[in-house]
Amino acid sequence: MTLPRRGVPALVFRYIGGEFFISFLVCFAFFFFIFFVNQLLLLAEDILQKDVPLTDVALLILYSLPSIIAISVPFATLVGVLMTVGRLSTDNEMVAFQASGFSLVRIFFPILVASLVLSGLSFGVNDFLLPRGTRNFARLYRDLLYSNPALELEPFSVKRYQNDTLITGAVFPGRIENFVILDTDGQGFRRVITAAEARLVREGDLNSIGLELTDVVTHSTEGGIRHNYSFAETLRYNILLEDITVAIRAPGPREMSARTVAEEIRKKQDALEPRIKEWQKEIALESHELGLLALDQNLRHPDAPPVDRASLNRQARSVLRRIERKPHDRSLQIHRLEYYKKFSIPFASVSFVFLAFPLGLFSKRSGRSVGFGIGLLIATGYWALLIAGQTFGSQRPEVSPLLAMWLPNGLFFVIGAVLFFRRMNR
């Protein structure tokens, strides 16, 4: 049984696909383990030290798996292709295929199909499972924090957030003794809140965590001169989740689906549009005024008083500075970068196979081991380019997010295509 006449026979298709599948599984296990250790084991170790039940630790790890799977698939595809083609070349099976009438394009076809399937799976995990895993992770971590404050507030320690400094005494399940808060009141004056005991309580607002303080003494100063003291049996104090811990912050664009990120981008663009129109209006008015002054200078009668060139130059520089200060929203730029990143990383598998296939052919005596090493170097280079593009794109609003996120894919695809055609013409 075969595929269509000009296609790849089913037996060869299965053989090459099976070789790639074995190599892919080995590489996927390797990269999965590396990212697992890097992102999860350290977190699990910290949680285990706080007497968190093993079942909850296992759930936290489970909810974190989608991000690891999504990033492991493209790199495993790259190294898997190098190992597969290297093995086939070393054993002269590539020569046998070509001697039997199979062109390189037909041999490459099963690997290309596999990369497209894996890209789709990686995108699905990143776009469907990752947001749900993040929400479940935050929900479980929040529950653990209420029952065990030591997850974030260690005993006899000082922890500083954006606007608050928390000083803790002994920490027990559900409560903290000798609790002190240093913050700023509604009038901008520094104050110190001390409590004999503090308990975490659930709030209706999911964006904050409540602290119920007992035996409270509050001390504030006005300009360092007037001291105010107040006493209370109980006091409710709220801390924003965006200040207390990364683990339970509201999901960012990385943890959203592509559709949700696209909707956020549209909202931010709509909010930024009036600022841009106002900026354009101001630039037009100042440019018009500057043009009139320049025209007046050119048409001025020789006997008329000279124009103040210094003032004219200052106004010209003012217009240039205003042009450089075009309104932008850094959050919008970050959302755009993450939106394109959601597509570029999963579909890097396709770019990788175009590069890995000819590289495997050029190394006839390498086998699997050298292909594995070359794959690691390429994966490291790709990751470095991707991080550099994201960092540069987030800092420079004039940089295209599409270009910043897709440039590594395009670069490896072009290099691979050149090598592929050179190999075909040999």
Query: What are the tens digits of pLDDT across the range 4-41?
Result: 444 557 787 888 888 899 989 999 999 999 888 876 66
Structure confidence by residue, pLDDT tens digits, 327-367? 777 888 888 999 999 999 999 999 999 998 888 887 655 55
Which residue type sits at 351? S
Contact 111, 81 (CB under 8 A): yes
pLDDT band at residue 3, thresholds of 50, 70 and 90? Answer: very low
* pLDDT at residue 287, as a whole number: 66
What's the mean pLDDT in 387-400?
A: 87
Q: What is the mean pLDDT of the chain?
A: 79
Q: Is pLDDT above 90 for 140? A: no
* CA contacts within 13 A on the Cβ side of 88: 28
Q: Rounded distance, CA 22 to CA 360, Å?
A: 16
* pLDDT at residue 246, as a whole number: 47
Q: Which residues pair with 171 in a beta bridge?
A: 176
Q: What stretches of 217-366 show up as alpha helix (H) in DSSP?
A: 241-244, 258-299, 309-324, 330-344, 348-362
Burial of residue 411 (CB within 10 Å: 0-12, 13-18, 19+) is middle
Bridge-based pairing state of the strands 158-160 and 208-222: unpaired
Q: Rounded distance, CA 116 to CA 346, Å?
A: 9
Look at residue 6 and give its three-state secondary structure: coil
* pLDDT at residue 292, as a whole number: 57
Euclidean distance between the first and final Cα of the chain, in Å? 32
Q: Rounded distance, CA 85 to CA 330, Å?
A: 44
Count of residues for the chain?
Answer: 426
Q: Is pLDDT above 90 for 374? A: no
* pLDDT at residue 409, as a whole number: 93
* pLDDT at residue 49, as a whole number: 61
Which residue type sits at 178? N
* pLDDT at residue 17, as a whole number: 86
Q: Rounded distance, CA 294 to CA 291, Å?
A: 5
Structure confidence by residue, pLDDT tens digits, 43-94? 665 666 666 777 887 888 888 888 889 889 999 999 999 888 888 888 888 8
Q: Rounded distance, CA 325 to CA 280, Å?
A: 11
* pLDDT at residue 1, as a whole number: 38
**Distances in Å between the alpha carbon of 1 and those of 10, 11, 85, 108, 170?**
7, 8, 25, 20, 74
Which residue type sits at 308? D
Contact 83, 376 (CB under 8 A): no
* pLDDT at residue 365, as a whole number: 57
Look at residue 169 and give its three-state secondary structure: coil
* Torsion from C-alpha of 387, 376, 257, 407, nearest 10 degrees: 50
Q: Rounded distance, CA 345 to CA 70, Å?
A: 8
Look at residue 48 and give its three-state secondary structure: helix
What's the mean pLDDT in 367-371?
A: 71
Least confident range of 162-176, 203-217, 353-367 = 203-217
Which range has the top average pLDDT, 62-66, 101-105, 116-120, 165-169?
A: 116-120
Q: Which residues pair with 182 in a beta bridge?
A: 165, 192
* pLDDT at residue 144, as a whole number: 75
* pLDDT at residue 344, as a whole number: 92
Which residues touch 100 (CB under 8 Å, ≥6 apart)?
A: none
Least confident range of 150-154, 213-217, 247-251 = 247-251
Phi-psi region of 224 (alpha: psi -120 to 50; beta: other; left: phi over 0): left
* pLDDT at residue 311, as a whole number: 60
Q: Is pLDDT above 90 for 183? A: no
Contact 67, 127 (CB under 8 A): no
Q: Is pLDDT above 60 for 239? A: yes
Which residue type sits at 147? S
What's the mean pLDDT in 288-315?
A: 57
Angle between helices 130-147 and 54-90 (to 10 degrees): 150
What's the mean pLDDT in 175-204?
A: 80
pLDDT band at residue 296, thresholds of 50, 70 and 90? Answer: low
What's the mean pLDDT in 314-328?
A: 64
Structure confidence by residue, pLDDT tens digits, 244-270? 554 445 567 877 888 888 998 899 888
